[in-house]
Amino acid sequence: MEARIVDFCRLLREHGVRVSLAETMDGLRALECVGLGDRETVRAALRTATVKRQADLDTFEPLFDSFFSGLGELARRLDAETAESLEVDPAELERMIAELEALAKELGIELSELAQAVLQGDAGRIERLLRDAAGRAGVDQIQHGFQEGRHVHALAMALGVPALGAEFDQMREGLGNRDDDETRRLRGLLDRRLQELTELMKALVRQELERRDATRRDRRNIQSLAEKSFFYLTEEEIRRMQEAVTGLARRLKNVVSLRRRKARRGTFDSSATLRKNLQYGGVPFRIVFDRRRREKPQIVVLCDVSDSVRNVSRFMLQFVYSLQDLYTKVRSFVFVADVGEVTETFKEKEIHVALDEALRGDVINVYAHSDFGRAFRAFHRDHLSAINKRTTVIILGDARNNYNLPHEWVLRDVQQRAKQLIWLNPENHMTWGFGDSEMDRYAPFCTVVEECRNLSQLYRVIDRLVAT
């Protein structure tokens, strides 16, 4: 069952729910406490351990229903159908099962765990055996509907269905050639139990295929969204792209990863010392110290949230929010004509709440006319001290300045203080420098300037940054 929980948490991550390894372990520990006997209790325990945001409930609930698709529930329904098909009530069905078990004991047949579970209609045990056998048979590798038969056969072999059939055949022989109603019903019960198991195996394979189909559909949807301009993304589409955005933030982390620089003092380096003294037979005549220190990267992000790029801003701020999660030292700012810091908002609040506060005017006047120059000058005055040689500065904006003074000297000062200055512009490169665009004035002071109008371009930009 532990493997199933881990797989479920991975599925949640694939659908944009942030579930860490620690939260996966919390889910396992919670299930150890509450047990697996009640489906709704299991649902509540996993939901508590893995879901941190209200928006993720809409993702969690259908995934739980499809992943833990209720083979046990199906087995219990089949049990009722068996009683109905044999025209007996539940009490009579239990008596018939007990009679068959007594017959097996009388014949000296030691029923396997599978035979016991199937004969008794033990839904929980049957589901566990099916899941374990599915793992051994590689049912999760199914790709197409025409493969169902092959995977059902592989599942039957891993489960031990041929041996089960042999056990039931021995019990049929033990019933003799009698043709009375009781004997016919007992034979019918054995036949029905084998039929039920076959239906459960087919159901499990189909559910796995449906789950993989749903995952492929989600991936295809993300791929199609990757080419769609940020300007036209809906809020729901932006939410669905959250996992991809988090992945991009991790890739960017490689660009500003920890560097090692020489320090005046160091610690004893045993590996280097042994290598250095191989010529002395390993006797450490010359001690080697590691005189390097790790340099912690810092990120400062300035995001344009003006009305002309409002939808782009929502996506970019989601990107900034993901960066905030990955780095211990990130300062985030939004600007239109004024500049405001949203670092603490992003640290303390859920993503949708934080984005709403940043975009609706709680921090700055988001309905003012864009004035990059004025915003940059205010940042220079109030926050320039946040930048040093360990800082990567990222500006997200279209550089449309409404013919105000650009104050490009601010970027010159920022570039001189920073490790690097990256500008990502959501407008087509061909429009830069035309009309009120000041991109041609700002670009000379940036380490990297890239067009970034959709997710695919953002991927390519970050891949280029990683490669350089």
The single-letter DSSP state of residue 15 is T
- Domain shared by 186 and 285, yes or no: no
- Domain shared by 89 and 195, yes or no: yes
- Percent of the chain scored above 70 by pLDDT? 81
Residues 133/152, Cβ–Cβ less than 8 Å: no
Residues 237/318, Cβ–Cβ less than 8 Å: no
Within-domain flag for 319: yes
Residue 171, CB-side half-sphere exposure with 13 Å CA sphere: 30
- Domain shared by 25 and 77, yes or no: no
Domain boundary among 68, 97, 118: 68
Which of 71, 67, 69, 80 has its CA nearest to residue 17? 67
End-to-end Cα spacing for the chain? 45
Within-domain flag for 369: yes
What number of residues does the chain have?
468
Is residue 136 helix, strand or coil? helix
pLDDT at 6: 80
**What pTM value is reported for the model?**
0.52
Q: What interhelical angle do 161-174 and 90-106 show, nearest 10?
A: 90
Q: Is the pLDDT of residue 163 over 70?
A: yes
Other Cβ atoms closer than 10 A to 41: 14
Domain boundary among 254, 273, 295: 295
Strands 448-451 and 259-268: unpaired
Question: In 155-275, where do the E strands start and end?
Answer: 259-268
- Domain shared by 77 and 180, yes or no: yes
Within-domain flag for 255: no
**190-228 per-position pLDDT tens digit:** 888 888 888 888 888 887 777 776 666 655 655 666 677
Which of 145, 142, 150, 90 has its CA nearest to residue 120? 90
Stronger pLDDT, 395 or 37, i.e. the higher one: 395
CATH label of the domain that carries residue 441: 3.40.50.410
pLDDT at 223: 62
Distances in whole angstroms, Cα of residue 117 to Cα of each of 68, 171, 247: 20, 16, 44
- Domain shared by 382 and 304, yes or no: yes
Q: Specify the range with the lowest mean pLDDT, choosing from 93-102, 255-264, 330-339.
A: 255-264
- Domain shared by 36 and 56, yes or no: yes
pLDDT at 126: 81
**96-142 per-position pLDDT tens digit:** 888 888 888 888 888 888 888 888 887 777 877 887 888 888 887 88
Is residue 256 helix, strand or coil? coil
- Domain shared by 320 and 451, yes or no: yes
- Domain shared by 196 and 151, yes or no: yes
pLDDT at 266: 61
**AA letter at 131:** R
Domain boundary among 248, 279, 295: 295
- Domain shared by 161 and 107, yes or no: yes
**395-436 per-position pLDDT tens digit:** 999 999 999 999 999 999 999 999 889 999 988 899 998 999
- Domain shared by 303 and 184, yes or no: no
Q: Which helix (H) or strand (E) holds 290?
A: strand 289-295
Note down the domain range covering 6: 2-68
Q: What interhelical angle do 310-326 and 242-255 show, nearest 10?
A: 60
Within-domain flag for 276: yes
Within-domain flag for 391: yes
Q: Specify the range with the lowest mean pLDDT, choosing from 121-130, 212-221, 316-325, 385-394.
A: 212-221
- Domain shared by 133 and 31, yes or no: no
Report the number of distinct structural domains present in the chain. 4
Within-domain flag for 229: no
- Domain shared by 387 and 305, yes or no: yes
Within-domain flag for 253: no
Within-domain flag for 170: yes
Residues 34/42, Cβ–Cβ less than 8 Å: yes
pLDDT at 260: 42
